Amino acid sequence: MFKTIRSSAPKVQLLHVTLCVIWNMAGLWQLLSDLQPIGPTASMTTIGLLIVFAATLVLSERNNQWVPYLLVSGLLGIGAVTAIFGALTKDPLLWPAEFWRYVGIAINSIGVVGFGLALAHIKHLRM
C-alpha cells in the first residue's frame, strides 16, 4: 500500500511537472511576444497534459492505485529522457542561449530521478 504522499517519489515528480509547466508557459509567453522561446517546444497541449498527469499522480497515490501511478510515472520518465536526448542532439540554435539548453536538461533530469524513485516506491507496495 502507498504509505502517504510523504514519499519522496511523488514530491520529486510533482516538482518536475511544475517546472515543466513553468517552462512551457514561459515559452508561450515569449512566442506571443515575438521572442525566441527558451526551448524548442512550448505548447498549451503539453501544459494541459502535465496538469492531468499531476492530478493523476496525486489521486492514484492517495487512493492506492498503483497501475495509473506507474503508467503516468512511465510517461513522465519517457518524456524526460526524450527531452534530454533532444537537448543533447538537436541544433543548439533552437535555444536562445546555451544556458537554457542546460537548464532544460537539469529540469528533465529531475524527471528521470522521479521515475527511478517511483519504481522504488512501487517496489515496496504490497500488490
pLDDT tens track of the chain, all 127 residues?
444 555 789 999 999 999 999 999 999 999 999 999 999 988 999 999 999 999 999 999 888 888 999 999 999 999 999 999 999 999 999 999 999 999 999 999 999 999 999 998 887 655 5
Cα angle 34-80-105, degrees, rounded to a multiple of 5: 65
Give the separation between CA 68 and CA 36, rounded to whole angstroms: 36
pLDDT at 59: 94
pLDDT at 127: 53
pTM for the structure as a whole? 0.90
Give the separation between CA 98 and CA 92, rounded to whole angstroms: 7
Q: What is the CA radius of gyration of the chain?
A: 15
Give the separation between CA 25 and CA 19, rounded to whole angstroms: 10
pLDDT at 88: 96
Give the separation between CA 81 and CA 114, rounded to whole angstroms: 12
pLDDT at 77: 97
pLDDT at 13: 97
Q: Which three cell numbers stand for residue 83?
A: 527531452
